[in-house]
Amino acid sequence: MIVSDETNVNLLGLDLILSMCILLLLVPRKYAPIPVLILTCFVTLGQRIIVAGADFTMVRILVLFGWTRLTLRGEIHRLKLTAIDKALICWVIASVVTYNILWQTSGAFINSMGKAYNVVGIYFLFRYLINDFDDIIRIIKWLAIIVVPLALAASVESATGRNVFAYFGGVAEFTPLRDGKVRSTFSFGDAILAGTFGTTLMPLIFGLWFQKISRKLVLCGVVASTIITIMARSSGPVVAYCIEIIAFMMWPFRKKMRAVRWGFLACALALHMFMKAPVWALIGRLSEVFGGHGYDRVELIDAAISHFGEWWLFGATYTAHWGPTVLVSTPNMVDMTNQFVYEGVEGGLLRLFLFIAMIAYSFRAIGRTIRAVEGQSVATQIYLWSMGVALIGHVTSFISVSYFSQIEVLFDMLLAMISACEGIFPNTAGILLNKTLSWPGTFASRNDLS
């Protein structure tokens, strides 16, 4: 990712941002998320406006127009805050406070407020725009369309070594090679994040298979997202993709997930006790199968644990002594290729705890909502499950990369959709019905899924 600290807006970028801003203001509410998705996926971070040190990317500008729309159209209504909403708000506040205590500079304040603007602005924009389950299905249906040209661009980039999105800036025109292979990045500018985009989008699109929409569209979307995962040639997204497939296969055991979770934890503890290396050393072993730099991730986790005293309170301003992968742009910091370690280093245990709590509440919300709609639509239950699978994909990816750029928008959108489901299906503490759903026999007839 090549990001300049100067204003850079070309003619095509300007046309796109103006078009999307106008659309966002004028289209009916149910279509309002579409301009946000288009701009997020097709415009790089190279298109930006710098004003008095404040960095306005195209997405930030579009979020401003989104909130202008909500205000002018009276679409801001009283939200019944869910546990996810509250955890996210607390996480953002803790992030701003701890980061400024840690760095104590004006630049740090601007940076922290910019990140808070991104998260709160994007997350609650989607929370207000999503009013029913059809809104969620519509968003993913459009993503199934959007991902097709992106897969084509990734394939062209893989074949030619040239990134067509370099016109916008922020990404290299000639994609760097690793082990003689081109790792497609298209608009994301980073191979791991590009692959993560494809990986985490796949279950959301696949879940549409059981809805009353074109299965050709679903098939194209699944194939396109898979192509993106492959063309990125990054082991992290591939591992996450495999885990998502396993997670889908766990559907028949959805009523026994508590036992599955405790069983998984028991296995992890047993491995940790009897292995010569810690259990997270398995990440390195996986890299021997899938490729990549898994052992670097293992070393980073080891370093974070051994240097716990340096970051647990408010984070750390110097980590270069943790390992060999020091950032060129920030030589006093090691490359944080783990979202959980990044959260701790940026804001201490409090920020890390709130981040984990936000994810835990999201998984709990999915489980409760599935139970609330049991006995109604099987298709709805499966789609809720697919949202949980996508979240598992993100959590798996957190082990190999820390998020930035466009992938943050898509992660915030997923959390907003999960949170919205608690309001769409309010009886999340409802009574479990005795009806047992079989797999895969319940999918024999598409008409049964209405």
The two structure tokens encoding residue 117 = 């603007």
Residue 390 near residue 244, CB atoms below 8 Å: yes
- What integer is the mean pLDDT of 202-218? 93
Name 82's bridge partners: none
Q: Are 397 and 297 in contact (CB under 8 A)?
A: no
Using CB atoms within 10 Å of the CB of residue 216, give its burial: 0 to 12 exposed, 13 to 18 middle, 19+ buried: exposed
Provide the greatest CA pair distance for the chain. 62
Mean pLDDT of the chain: 89
Structure tokens at 425: 């299906």
**How open is the CA angle 330-331-333, to the nearest 5 degrees?**
75
User: Does pLDDT of 433 surpass 50?
Assistant: no
Domain boundaries, the chain: 11-73+85-263+336-449
Round to whole Å and give the CA distance between 20 and 16. Answer: 6
> 């790792």: which residue's tokens?
183
Distance CA(34)–CA(218), nearest Å, equals 18
- Residue 450 in this model has a pLDDT that exceeds 60: no
State pTM to two decimals: 0.91
For residue 220, give every residue at least 6 positions away whose Cβ sits within 8 Å of its Cβ, in sequence order, or none. Answer: 144, 148
DSSP states of 64-119: HHHHHHHHHTT--------HHHHHHHHHHHHHHHHHHHHH-SHHHHHHHHHHHHHH
Provide, rounded to the nearest whole percent, the portion of the chain with pLDDT above 70.
Answer: 92
Helix (H, G, I), strand (E, B) or coil at 57: strand
Encode pLDDT of 225-284 as tens digits: 999 999 999 999 999 999 999 999 999 998 888 888 889 889 989 988 888 888 888 888
Phi, psi (rounded to 5 degrees) for 406: -65, -30
Taking the CB of residue 444, how many other CB atoms lie within 10 A of it?
9
pLDDT computed for residue 347 by the predictor: 96
pLDDT confidence band for 3 (50 / 70 / 90): low
For 195-211, what is the mean pLDDT?
96
Q: If pLDDT is split at 50, 70 and 90, which confidence band does 7 have?
A: confident
Closest CA to 235 of 414, 401, 386: 401
Write the pLDDT tens digit of every residue in 111-158: 999 999 999 999 999 999 999 999 999 999 999 999 999 999 999 999
Query: Rounded to an integer, what distance in angstroms lies between the CA atom of residue 333 and that of residue 320?
Result: 5
158 is written with which tokens? 């893989």
Q: How would residue 434 be classed by pLDDT, with cut points 50, 70 and 90? A: very low
Mention every residue, 6+ apart, whose C-beta is less than 8 A from residue 29: 73, 75, 129, 131
